[in-house]
Structure 1
Amino acid sequence: MKQIALDIGLAPEPTLEGFVVGGNAAVLQHLRLWTESSARSPVPTYLWGSAGAGKTHLLRAARQALLGQGARVGWLDADTPARPSFDEAWDAVLMDDVHLYRAEQQHTAFNWFVNAVAPASGRSRAVLAAGALPPADLPLREDLRTRLGWGHVFELQLLPEAELRAVLRRAADARGVFLSDEVMDFVLRRFSRDLGSLMQLLEQLDRYALQTQRTITIPLLKSMLENE
Structure 2
Amino acid sequence: MRQLILDLLPDAAPSLDNFVAGSNGEALACLHQWQTQTPRETCLFLWGDAGAGKTHLLRAVGVRYIDATTDPALATLAEDDTRAGLQLAVDNVAALDAAGQIALFNAFNRLRASGGALLVAAPEPPLRLTLREDLRTRLGSGLICRLQPLTDAEKIAALATQAAARGVRLPPEVLTYLLARAPRDMRSLSALLASLDRYSLEHKRPITLPLLREVLHARVEA
Superposition TM-score tier, normalisation by shorter sequence: 0.7 to 0.9
1:20 equivalenced with 2:20 (yes/no) = yes
CA contact (8 A) 2:59 2:65 kept: no
1:6 aligns with 2:17: no
Q: Is the 8 A contact 2:45 2:139 kept in 1?
A: yes
1:99 to 94, 100, 106: 94
Q: What is the CA-CA distance between 1:223 and the residue it aligns to?
A: 2.5
Q: State the Cα distance separating 1:83 from its structure 2 match.
A: 4.3
Contact kept in structure 1, 2:45 and 2:144, CA below 8 Å: yes
Percentage of identical aligned residues: 42
Q: In structure 2, what is the Cα distance between the partners aligned to 1:224 and 1:141?
A: 48
Letter in 2 for 1:131: A
Q: Please state how far the C-alpha of 1:44 moved relative to its aligned partner.
A: 1.2
Partner of 1:127: 118
Letter in 2 for 1:154: C
Q: 1 CA distance for matches of 2:39 and 2:88?
A: 12
Contact preservation (8 Å) 2:43, 2:117? yes
- The Cα of 1:199 is off from its aligned counterpart by 1.1
Q: Which amino acid aligns with 1:82?
A: A
The match for 1:148 is: 139
> Could you say which residue in structure 2 is the equivalent of 1:46?
45
Could you give the per-residue CA deviations for residues 114-173 of structure 1, whole angstroms, max 9, x where no partner exists?
A: 2212x4xxx221111111112122233333233222211111112222222111101111
User: In the alignment, what sits opposite 2:203?
Assistant: 212
1:77 aligns with 67
Runs (4 or more) in structure 1 with deviation over 4 Å come to none
CA offset digits 1:177-218 (Å, max 9, x no partner): 221111111111122221122111111221122233332233
Q: Residues of 1 paired with 2:199 and 2:97: CA distance?
A: 38
SS at match of 2:189: helix
Other-structure match for 2:172: 181
Structure 2 unaligned regions, length at least 5: none
Q: What RMSD, in angstroms, separates the aligned Cα atoms of the two structures? A: 2.5
Cα distance in 2, alignment partners of residues 208 and 102 from structure 1: 44
Q: Scaled by the length of structure 1, what TM-score is found?
A: 0.80
CA distance in 2, matches of 1:129, 1:205: 34
Instruction: Describe the superposition over 1:36-56 as per-residue Cα deviations: whole angstroms up to 9, x where unpaired.
Output: 23x342431101011221212
TM-score by length of structure 2 reads 0.82
Aligned residues: 210
CA 1:205–1:105: 2 relative to 1, 3 Å: farther
Q: Does 1:86 align with 2:79?
A: yes
Q: Contact conserved, 1:41 with 1:125, CA < 8 A, in 2?
A: no
Instruction: Indicate how the Cα distance of structure 1 residues 84 and 21 shifts in structure 2: closer, same or farther if over 3 A, else same.
Output: closer
40 and 216 in structure 1: CA distance in 2 versus 1, 3 angstrom threshold: farther
Query: In structure 1, how many angstroms separate the alpha carbons of the residues matched to 2:154 and 2:144?
Result: 25
Contact 1:90 1:125 in 2 (8 A): yes
Question: Are the equivalent residues in 2 in contact too, given 1:21–1:28 (CA < 8 A)?
Answer: yes
CA offset at residue 25 of structure 1?
2.5
Distance 1:140 1:216 in 2: 48
Greater mean deviation of Cα atoms: 98-107 or 151-160? 98-107
